[in-house]
């Protein structure tokens, strides 16, 4: 079995100053944090909205509720925690009539989850095959690894992890069943891939672990439902932002925001617009925002982070000077 070690890390919110700058919260604003995690981003937003502001924190991980309870006395604003999937809870907030000025998401697995070795999210140390963000759900990595047919497992590794050796890995996992721990899973992956892949850039199990985790938690389905829900909930003139850590998430966010920022939908050969379609969004940065070299050196987990943000336009919402929605 692979030798694995526990490496606790300080919780560092990723792209924190960039996120706050793009969202630009002000005193008295209502802010929805869709992925509370360790609360690093929430603390910064609470400072900006002050005692007259409202902060709603969402997380499906039961452990996040305990972290919120510890942090709440320090927030200095009206704050509450909502446990559950943000795709579902954004709809509940809409039914309340909430109209936040800011909604943001920090997608993927949190540092707290990675460093809780017993939850099995990381390939860096041995643990039971679990990977559930919500420990009350039935499906876990143990079932995915041991009970899914090899073809289904292969498809998940290829589609959710973009793993080029998906077929070989799925076959080796099936051959070794039953697997009980992350260490056994890492060993199976190492045995299935070419030596150049085992000792190349990055850990050979990274993409497979990503795929299995996404499958266990239904992360992409949840994001697909949450994006329109968040946009509908957001007040006119409000700002939405999302930090993604892999291309599958980032592409979804990019396409969603670009679609709402698009104005005319007429064929390009038409000399004038006849559709009359107006953009719903104003993109707040021309390019995706990435961590600085300083942040990446201080927090290596931030290297893959990608931040995108947009402002919701309404009939009376002025555009930021110099910005134009794509045709």
Integer CA distances (angstroms), 90 to 98, 136, 149, 202, 235, in order? 10, 21, 35, 36, 13
Please spell the DSSP secondary structure of 34-91, one letter per residue: S--TTSHHHHHHHHHH-TT-EEEEEES-HHHHHHHHHHHHHH-SEEEEEES-HHHHHH
Q: For residues 164 and 45, give the distance between their C-alpha atoms in angstroms, rounded to a whole number.
A: 40
Could you read off the pLDDT of 128-185 as tens digits, one per residue? 999 999 989 999 999 999 999 999 999 999 999 999 999 999 999 999 999 999 999 9
**Together in a domain, 211 and 233:** no
Domain end point (choices 202, 217, 232) = 217
**Together in a domain, 180 and 43:** no
Strand partners, 206: none
Q: For residues 118 and 104, give the distance between their C-alpha atoms in angstroms, rounded to a whole number.
A: 29
Q: Does residue 258 sit within a domain?
A: yes
In this predicted structure, what is the pLDDT of residue 166? 98
Q: For residues 173 and 157, give the distance between their C-alpha atoms in angstroms, rounded to a whole number.
A: 12
Confirm if 139 and 198 have CB atoms less than 8 A apart. no
**Together in a domain, 156 and 244:** no
Nearest CA among 157, 180, 184, 179 for reference residue 168: 157
Strand partners, 80: 56
User: What CATH number should be reported for the domain holding residue 193?
Assistant: 1.10.150.170
% of the chain with per-residue pLDDT over 70: 93
**Together in a domain, 198 and 53:** no
């Amino acid at each position: 079995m692979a030798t694995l070690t526990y490496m606790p890390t300080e919780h560092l919110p990723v792209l924190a100053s960039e996120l706050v700058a793009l969202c630009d919260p002000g005193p008295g604003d209502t802010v929805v944090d869709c992925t509370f995690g360790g609360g690093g981003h929430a603390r910064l937003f609470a400072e900006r909205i002050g005692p007259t502001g409202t902060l709603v924190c969402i997380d499906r991980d039961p452990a996040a509720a305990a972290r919120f309870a510890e942090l709440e006395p320090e927030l200095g604003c009206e704050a509450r925690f909502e446990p559950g999937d943000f795709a579902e809870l954004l709809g509940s907030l809409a039914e309340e009539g909430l109209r936040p000025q800011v909604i943001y998401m920090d997608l993927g697995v949190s540092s707290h989850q990675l460093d809780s070795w017993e939850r099995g999210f990381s390939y860096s140390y041995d643990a039971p095959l679990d990977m559930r963000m919500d420990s009350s759900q039935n499906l876990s990595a143990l079932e995915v690894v041991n009970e899914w047919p090899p073809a289904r497992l292969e498809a998940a590794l290829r589609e959710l992890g973009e793993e080029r050796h998906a077929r070989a890995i799925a076959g080796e996992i099936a051959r070794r069943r039953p697997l009980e721990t992350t260490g056994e899973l890492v060993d199976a992956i190492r045995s299935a891939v070419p030596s150049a892949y085992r000792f190349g850039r990055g850990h050979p199990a990274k993409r497979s672990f990503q795929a299995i985790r996404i499958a266990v938690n239904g992360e992409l389905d949840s994001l697909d439902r949450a994006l329109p829900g968040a946009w509908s909930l957001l007040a006119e003139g409000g700002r939405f932002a999302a930090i993604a850590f892999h291309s599958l998430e980032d592409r979804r966010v990019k396409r969603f925001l670009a679609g709402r920022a698009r104005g005319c939908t007429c064929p390009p050969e038409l000399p004038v617009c006849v559709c009359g379609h107006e953009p719903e969004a104003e993109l707040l940065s021309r390019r995706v925002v990435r961590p600085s070299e300083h942040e990446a050196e201080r927090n290596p987990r931030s290297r893959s982070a990608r931040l995108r943000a947009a402002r919701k336009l309404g009939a009376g919402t002025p555009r930021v000077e110099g910005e134009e929605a794509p045709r």
